Every structure is written in structure tokens, then in C-alpha cells.
Amino acid sequence: MSILINKNTRLLVQGITGNEGLFHTTQMKAYGTNVVAGVTPGKGGEWVLEGKVPVFDSVKFAVEATGANTSIIFVPARFASDAIFEAADAGLELIVCITEGIPVQDMMRVRNYLDQKNVRLVGPNCPGLLTPGESKVGIIPGDIAIPGNVGVVSRSGTLTYGVLYALKLVGMGVSTCVGIGGDPINGTNFIDVLGMFEEDPQTEMVVLIGEIGGSDEERAAEFIADHLTKPVAAFIAGQTAPPGKRMGHAGAIVEGGSGLAADKIRALEAVAVHVAQHPEQIPELLMKRV
């Protein structure tokens, strides 16, 4: 078992002929992900990756021809919201948007539209998903994690990689890693993923990687107290960040005394979540909870 992606995922890549799209499609396919199609308007009929992946002019045509059920978006920010709309209208169940820099107003329209449909968006401005040994949909390096029973959900990209590798070094594997991104408005939040991990029989422990800004971690703490039966370890990035300065993600900013790392840590520790002082400490904290 896993959540969101597995060996049966049939992936479509929007923006496949761009530099980033083509590079990461090569990496995903090399990992074993079933990449069935790409989409670049005006380049329908072409093939990429030595004739292994067909390119279509629209997501609708690609889905009809290949049975794709998941899309990943490597499209410039000014076109990314339209790419999400197109994927949703084509009936895809899961959309992963890697693109950063999408205007907040665009994402407000996207979120309002997707809330009316049975579509799951992960991102934007995220590293995507990894189910070790089965599928990689995004830019998370495939060789830094092994299959196992730890579910990982994170707002941070780089810290995610460090935690996955730290788990691997001590022989701890991952069921699925979900990078939700750190923008103010995104498609999937901590609570969504925590609920999926709670229902996933393979996931026995959970790692939550948060950061300053907003109140997502505090809401996650409330959900953990009320609904989660599995042990959780966490790390909060930006503990030394000065107020009023954006650190990394667009959502990582402390304003008006809210979004402080100390408040997030306090909320998590109040519901018996062990919070690491540094990411490499997470495996040790998990082993104490077993």
C-alpha cells in the first residue's frame, strides 16, 4: 500500500519538451515511473525519450489516447494555472504542480475551481511525491529513500531530502513522501495527508516537516490530537528567522506575531509529537516511539 501514487500510476507530463520537463521526465522514467504521455501545445505528434513517450497538443487528447490518471506540471508560472485547469477538465484524479512563482490570485481561482471537482492537487511550488520502489512523480531524488513504513509530509523541499536520507542511513524506509509546498495557497495540506497516512495500513509512523509562517502546523497538531493513532515526529524550519522577512517559500513569513516557530513547536509538543532540534535527529525520535 501507499498513498496517492504507486506502480499503477499512469503519468502525463505537462511541459514535457521544456528543459526541466524533459530532464525530470527522464529521471522519473529511469526510476520506473510509468510515464505514458507528454503535453506541449503545438508539438503534438512528436515523441521524446528516444521515441518512448508520445507528445500531445492537449491533456484531453493525451488522456483519451493513453489512459493517464495523473499529471505533473513543469509549465512556466504565467501558464501554470491554465495547465491545472486543463488537467482538471480532462478528468485526471491527481495533479502535481512543481512550478513556483504562481500569483496568489491565480491560485485562489484554481483552488475555488478544484474544490468543486473530485480532483487532488499537490503543490504548487513543491518537490512532488515519492513512493520508494514503486513510483516517483516530481523532483525528489529516487536514491535517497528505501521502501518502508514511515510516511513523510513536508512543506520544505530541501529538508525533505535530508530527512529521507537520514532515515535511509539507519535502515528506516518510507511508505510515501508528499511534498505539499510552502505557498500561501496550495491544493493539499498537512491534514489531508495525515488523514491518508492514518488510513494507510503500511504507514506505521509519520514525519511532519513544517516551517515558519501561517498556522498549518497548529491545525495539524489539533488533527493529530483528535484523529491520529500513529506516532509522529516533526521538525520546524526557520527557528532563527527574523520577523517580517520571507525565508524560502512565499508562505514562510512571520507577521504580526503569528507563524512563529516557537508557537508551532509548542502546539505539536502539547499533543505528544516529538519535535527534533535538527532534521538528522528524526530517526532517533521515531525509534523512541516504536
Active-site annotation holds for 24: no
Q: Catalytic one among 227, 249, 274, 278?
A: 249
Q: What's the first-to-final CA gap in the chain, in angstroms? A: 20
Single-letter code of the amino acid located at 35: V
Tell me which long-range contacts 164-169 makes (C-beta under 8 A, separation of at least 24).
164/130, 164/140, 166/279, 166/280, 166/282, 166/283, 167/207, 167/282, 167/283, 167/286, 168/144, 169/283
Find out whether 111 and 51 touch, Cβ atoms under 8 Å: no
Q: Residue 252 and residue 254: Cα distance in Å, rounded?
A: 7
Please count the residues of the chain: 290
Specify the 3-state DSSP secondary structure of 53.
Answer: strand
CA dihedral sign of residues 56, 59, 65, 70:
positive
56-to-28, 69, 270 alpha-carbon distances in Å: 19, 15, 51
Specify the 3-state DSSP secondary structure of 265.
Answer: helix
217-to-29, 233, 275 alpha-carbon distances in Å: 34, 13, 12
Closest Cα partner for 58 from 68, 50, 49, 48?
68
Find out whether 113 and 167 touch, Cβ atoms under 8 Å: no
Catalytic residues, by residue number, are: 249
